[in-house]
Structures are given as structure tokens and as C-alpha cells.
Amino acid sequence: MKIKVGFGYDVHQLVEGEEFWLGGIKIDHVKGSLGHSDGDVLIHAICDALLGAANLRDIGFHFPDTSTELKNIDSKILLKRTVDLIIAKGFSIGNIDATVALQKPKISSIIPKMQKKLCEAMDIDLEDLAIKATTTEKLGFVGTEAGITAYATVLIQK
């Protein structure tokens, strides 16, 4: 068995008037992620981690922000395509550990919904996806609510 680890990171600016998508769930909030797709930083970080682990470059290579086909695309579609890419290379997902850094809104109560939605998209068990949330104690662009970040570590196996 071959085991590989990948790490992903994404950041998006938060602006008023944009929809706020996180973990495949639309969240009611005064600000949303500015992005070419739906701006779901959690999904983008997971995609980058999976692609990196399989040595398949990064999310921008496979899903460029210059593509009109991908404008406003649901990031769950990108996640499914990413999983298809690693499966085509002979890998399966072992587990994913992800952290979202945002000041507001508090997302603890919707993490189970995000886990369910993302596990369905990746066809993995709930126990194989951990999602955590943190703040930056009002420091930096996350603390001032100017942006949101997500980090993901994955284990894939062949």
C-alpha cells in the first residue's frame, strides 16, 4: 500500500453583497466570499490538498479562474472532479482534517451539515472528514472580517 499526504490552503476576501458558501452550505451572513466560483474556501483547500497528495498540481491548474465555464460554479462540482482525478490515478481518500479560520459567523452548529454534504460529494464516510473552526482573536485580515481562510490535510492511499 502506498500512502501519501497533501496540504491545501485557500483564502478569499469577504465582501458585502456576495453569497457566503462554506463546506457546500449557503450561510446567511452580511458578507460573502469574493471568487470566480462560489468562493467556498473549505472545498478549495480540500481540492488543493487532494491534488497535491496525488502530485496533480493545484486547483488553479485544473480549474482556472480564467475559464468562463467555471464562472460561479458550485465548488462541490470541482470537488467531485478532483476526487475523480485522484481515483483515475489509483488513489482513494483515507481521511481529511480541515480547519476554517473566520471571525464571524460562528459555524460550530453547521459543521455536521458541512461534513455530511462534503462526504456525500466525495463518497467517503463521515468519520473520515474532520472540520474545525477557529478565529484569529480579531487579528489580521481574518480578525477584521476582511477575509476567510481554510487549511486541509489529507491522506490518500493506493
Residue 153 annotated as binding?
no
The cell for 86 is 485522484
Residue 44 annotated as binding?
yes
β-strand pairing of 147-157 with 3-16: antiparallel
* 120 sits in which H/E element: helix 111-122
Residue 29 annotated as binding?
no
CA distance 72 to 54: 26
Residue 33 annotated as binding?
no
Residue 127 annotated as binding?
no
Residue 37 annotated as binding?
yes
* 93 sits in which H/E element: strand 92-101
Residue 66 annotated as binding?
no
Residue 10 annotated as binding?
yes
Residue 120 annotated as binding?
no
Residue 12 annotated as binding?
yes
Residue 24 annotated as binding?
no
Known binding-site residue numbers: 10-12, 36-37, 44, 58-60, 134-137, 141
Binding residues for a divalent metal cation: 10, 12, 44
